[in-house]
């Protein structure tokens, strides 16, 4: 009996899950302090930095992928740096995919966490200060626990958005089997080769996954009794 999904497709699925998992971890590490700063600061730099973080939402993925490809190329500043450090070029590698995924999914992590921090208000932190808690202790013991719904939403959206990426990963990764080929580009390859049976299975899996993500967010919103980003 012929399997509906071949070994190459299974490799693409595992690579996609690995990329999405690592991207989510990196994004939570970056987005949490950045979101806190955006929610608390009154600096004049807040607006331009917020716009820069949100830019991937309106920028075509191929445009972002193109500039990242130039940046990581042998004549780009990042490419020169990685070559000088002995790391080689990051274009058409998993590391390059990870960098592109982090930048492309950054607003999906920052916005839910920022909104969660803003919803907390200033009173809990003021109470912590009156109890002589250091700012860093108040952040980890008060702000983060209260913002947990936003963190969970950010993790779900970041993971799901990375799984569904196409334009950025195709521009940066080049769709190399076993190295940079993920589910979205694997579906594209099957359709291009007129292998519709395998494309149906992978596309169907993406539909089920997307529905599960939306259902999870809806249940999370209902559980917490407030509007989630």
In order of 28, 52, 152, 213, the CA distances from 155 in angstroms are 7, 20, 5, 11
> Would you list the DSSP string of 39-63?
HH---TTHHHHHHHHHGGGTS-HHH
The encoded tokens of residue 68 equal 């990242």
Domains in the chain with CATH codes: 7-40+53-224 (1.10.3720.10)
Digit-coded pLDDT (tens) for 115-133: 999 999 888 888 888 888 8
| pTM, full prediction | 0.88
Please give the Cα distance from 122 to 40 (Å, whole number).
Answer: 9
Digit-coded pLDDT (tens) for 10-68: 898 899 999 999 999 999 999 999 999 999 998 999 999 999 999 999 999 989 999 99
Is the pLDDT higher at 190 or at 23? 23
Comparing C-alpha atoms, which of 115, 116, 94 is closest to residue 17? 94
DSSP 3: -
What average pLDDT does the chain have? 89
Residue 4 pLDDT grade (very low, low, confident, very high; cuts 50, 70, 90): low
Comparing C-alpha atoms, which of 224, 219, 4 is closest to residue 115? 224
Phi, psi of 6 (to 5 degrees): -85, 175
Please give the Cα distance from 91 to 99 (Å, whole number).
Answer: 10
Q: Side-chain half-sphere of 118: how many Cα atoms within 13 Å? A: 15
Q: Side-chain half-sphere of 213: how many Cα atoms within 13 Å? A: 18
Q: Do 28 and 109 touch, CB atoms closer than 8 A?
A: yes
pLDDT confidence of residue 16? 92
């Amino acid at each position: 009996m012929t399997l509906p999904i071949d070994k190459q497709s299974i490799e693409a699925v595992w690579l996609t899950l690995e990329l999405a998992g690592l991207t989510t971890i990196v994004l939570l590490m970056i987005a949490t302090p950045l979101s806190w700063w955006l929610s608390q600061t009154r600096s004049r730099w807040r607006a331009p930095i917020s716009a820069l973080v949100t830019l991937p939402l309106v920028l075509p993925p191929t445009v972002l992928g193109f500039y990242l490809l130039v940046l990581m190329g042998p004549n780009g500043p990042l490419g020169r740096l990685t070559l000088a450090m002995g790391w080689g070029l990051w274009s058409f590698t998993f590391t390059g995919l990870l960098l592109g995924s982090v930048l492309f999914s950054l607003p999906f992590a920052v916005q839910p966490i920022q909104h969660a921090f803003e919803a907390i208000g200033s009173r809990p932190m003021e109470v912590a200060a009156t109890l002589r808690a250091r700012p860093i202790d108040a952040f980890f013991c008060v702000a983060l626990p209260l913002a947990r719904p936003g963190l969970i939403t950010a993790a779900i959206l970041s993971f799901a958005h990375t799984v569904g990426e196409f334009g950025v990963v195709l521009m940066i990764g080049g769709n190399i089997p076993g190295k940079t080929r993920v589910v979205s580009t694997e579906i594209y390859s099957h359709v291009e080769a007129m292998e519709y049976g395998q494309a149906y299975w992978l596309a169907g899996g993406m539909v089920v996954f997307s529905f599960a993500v939306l259902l999870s967010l809806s249940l999370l919103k209902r559980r917490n009794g407030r509007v989630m980003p």
